[in-house]
Structure 1
C-alpha cells in the first residue's frame, strides 16, 4: 500500500495486518530459529511483489478463479513472484 498511497493512509490501513504478520517473525526467532532464513526470505519475496505489483487491494479475484496461477498473476498485475519450497520449514511449525 505504501507504493500506491500516502504514507499516512497506508499506515492506517496496514495497522491490523502488520500486527498479524509480525507475530510470525517473532515466533520464528524465539521458537523456531532453524526456520529464520526461510521466514526472512518469505518476507523479502513478499515485499518485492508488493513493490512491483499493481495495488492488491483493488484486485477482483473472482475474475481469475478459472485461470492458472501464472495467468491470474498476469491478469491481476502481480509481478516479481519467486516461488520457494518452504515445506521443510513449515513442517517444523506443526
Structure 2
C-alpha cells in the first residue's frame, strides 16, 4: 500500500514538474516574442519621432525667434565689441 502511495506521489510530482516546465517554456517564449515586438515598436517610434522632429523643428524655431531676439541682439553686440577691439596679431619675425 505504501509503495502504491509513493508511486502515485511520484506520478503527481512528475506531472507537476512537467506542467511547470511547459508553463515556463510558454512564459519564456512569450517574453522573448513580446520583447522583440517591443524593440521593434520602440525603433519605429524613434524613427517616426525623429521624422516628425525634423519636420516640426524649423517651425518651432521660427515661432520662438521673437522670444529669443533680445538675447540674440545682446550676443551680437558683445560679439561686435569684442571683434572690434581685438588687435591684429603682429607677424612674428623670423630669426636665423
- Same fold per superposition (TM over 0.5): no
RCO greater where, 1 or 2, for CA within 8 Å and sep 6 or more? 1
Q: TM-score band, normalised by the shorter chain?
A: under 0.3
Greater Cα radius of gyration, structure 1 or 2: 2
From the two aligned structures, give the one with the greater helix fraction.
Answer: 2
With normalisation by structure 1, the TM-score equals 0.26
Structure-2-length-normalised TM-score: 0.25
